[in-house]
Amino acid sequence: MSLRHETLALLTIEPMTGYELAKLLDDTLGLLWAAPHSQIYPELRKMEDSGFIEAERVPRGARAEKRVYTITKLGVEELQRWEQEPQSYPPERDVHRLKAAYFEFSSPEAARTHLNSHLTYWTRRADLWTELLEGIRTRTYPLLRRRLDRFPPETHDAIVAFKGLAFEGQLARAHAEIDWAKRSLAALEQLGDLAAVQAVTAEAAKGHASR
Amino acid sequence: MSLRHETLALLTIEPMTGYELAKLLDDTLGLLWAAPHSQIYPELRKMEDSGFIEAERVPRGARAEKRVYTITKLGVEELQRWEQEPQSYPPERDVHRLKAAYFEFSSPEAARTHLNSHLTYWTRRADLWTELLEGIRTRTYPLLRRRLDRFPPETHDAIVAFKGLAFEGQLARAHAEIDWAKRSLAALEQLGDLAAVQAVTAEAAKGHASR
DNA sequence: GTAGTCATGTAAGAGGTTACATGATTAG
DNA sequence: CTAATCATGTAACCTCTTACATGACTAC
């Protein structure tokens, strides 16, 4: 349940609408917690009920209105409380590694295709995070700029350092995945002709089945 | 929805009960997809209804019975189908990285504690996977042995290679996390006295709130 | 006018967590 | 006899996904 804390953290930058939060939590942006708007709007209402945030109705244009949410004192305290709370680890659930573990039920081409997609996906992520890190270090990334503008100068080094830490971690993970995909592709090559394996394993497995 | 395919894959080793599958899918075992028994038993019933597995009622002791599940031809085909199907990537959701990104709302001690737990957790995982990999390479890991005993010799190299690949990936990820935690702890040190930051950021955030 | 963006919702369903619940079997 | 293990379930609840739904505003 960290959607709550990610949105609280974003609202410490400045008041925002659900729509803007939804854009920031879009997975393609590369931030640390993604969520669709269908999850965000109800969560904002719940947080409002809990007193963590407050909505202000602001007119836009002639007829329309938007709800601009501001974090409250209670909301900041909740964020601090969560930050100090010990954090458990989610159970292991890695579908790509799982597929790789059972490539003997796949075809050599499909296995290669999977690893190439993996390479593409994580390379794109690495590029994204490299750029983001550059923007963090130079303090030019817009979201960071907006944050620094609101916080006193003596906190800037720490704020920048922590954002840097987090995305260095993401980047390191991406590089580990890229290396893994490359090594795995090489290993696939070395296994030579696997054409027969799929058929044989399938037959063997069916053998158990019809025992 | 890969619980289904992990259990199908395990049932290609040999027929098993829900209880045994639940033990294998325990997170502390370090396999690739964890699940509690409360999820496994209903899933087995669903797969039985779909014809992917078949249950045999086997007596145990005098009064009791157990349901031993066997994968069917249809089940093996489903596993193969899934293996060749393109796999999407889950949205980014990393709670530990998220916490690190907002350490300015934490205390220096809590931040250090988080990173030390991270180190402990991933070191334990790395040890687990190192041992598992050793058992895979020497072909002595019991689950792998059981698998190899059921599959024809010409498939053994590939089966062992794929299991190796998968856990090398897990190990690489663990090492990346360990490195990150160490580098982050060092970075924390270098930031020097952060005692004031938490208070200041909190005040600043409340400042927005009561604007 | 019309396409793109801004803006906010609801709802069904899948997947996962946590807790409750029960009882037989086996090893000491 | 008693503790650990084997064995199988249910139920409430939460989170997340996917799809449906609507309409105003702005730039061209």
Q: What local confidence, expressed as pLDDT, does residue A199 receive?
A: 72
- Between positions 102 and 121 of B, the ones with CB within 8 A of A are 102-107, 110, 113-114, 117, 121
Percentage of residues of chain A with pLDDT beyond 90:
87
**Cα of B46 to nearest chain A Cα, Å:** 18
Answer for the pair B164, B133: CB distance below 8 angstroms, yes or no.
yes
Predicted pLDDT at A1: 78
Residue nearest to nucleotide D16 (CA to C1'): A39
pTM over 0.75: yes
Pick out the nucleotide with least CA–C1' distance to B42: D9
Query: What residues contact residue A110 under an 8 Å CB cut-off, 6+ apart?
Result: B83, B84
CA of B6 to C1' of C17 (A): 19
Of B157, B79, B86, B85, the C-alpha closest to A187 is B157
Query: Within 7 A of a protein CB, which nucleotides of strand D?
Result: 6-12, 14-20, 23-26
Q: Are A161 and B194 in contact (CB under 8 A)?
A: no
Q: How distant is the Cα of B65 from the closest Cα of chain A, in angstroms?
A: 21
Secondary structure class of A52 (helix, strand, coil): coil
Question: What residues of A are in contact with residue B86 (Cβ under 8 Å)?
Answer: 113-114, 117
Residue A172 distance to chain B (closest CA, Å): 6
Residue B147 contacts A, CB cutoff 8 Å: no
Tens digits of residue pLDDT in A97-117: 999 999 999 999 999 999 999
Give percent of chain A with pLDDT exceeding 70.
Answer: 95
Q: Do A91 and B35 touch (CB under 8 A)?
A: yes
Q: Give the Å distances, CA to CA, from B3 to A168, A192, B139.
A: 31, 31, 25
Dump pLDDT digits (tens) for A39-95.
999 999 999 999 999 999 999 988 999 999 999 999 999 999 999 999 999 999 999
Average pLDDT on A153-172 reads 96
pLDDT digits 0-9 by tens, A194-211:
766 777 777 777 666 544
Nearest to B98 among A33, A54, A151 (CB): A33
Query: Do the Cβ atoms of A184 and B173 come within 8 Å?
Result: no
Judged by CB atoms closer than 8 Å, whether chains meet at A2 and B98 is answered as: yes
Q: Quote the pLDDT of residue B33.
A: 98
10-residue mean pLDDT series, chain B (211 residues): 96 97 97 98 98 97 95 96 97 98 94 98 98 98 96 92 98 98 96 72 66 45
d(CA A107, CA B27): 29
**Which chain A residues are Cβ-neighbours of B5 within 8 angstroms?**
98, 102
Looking only at the bridges linking them, the beta strands covering A53-60 and A64-71 are: antiparallel
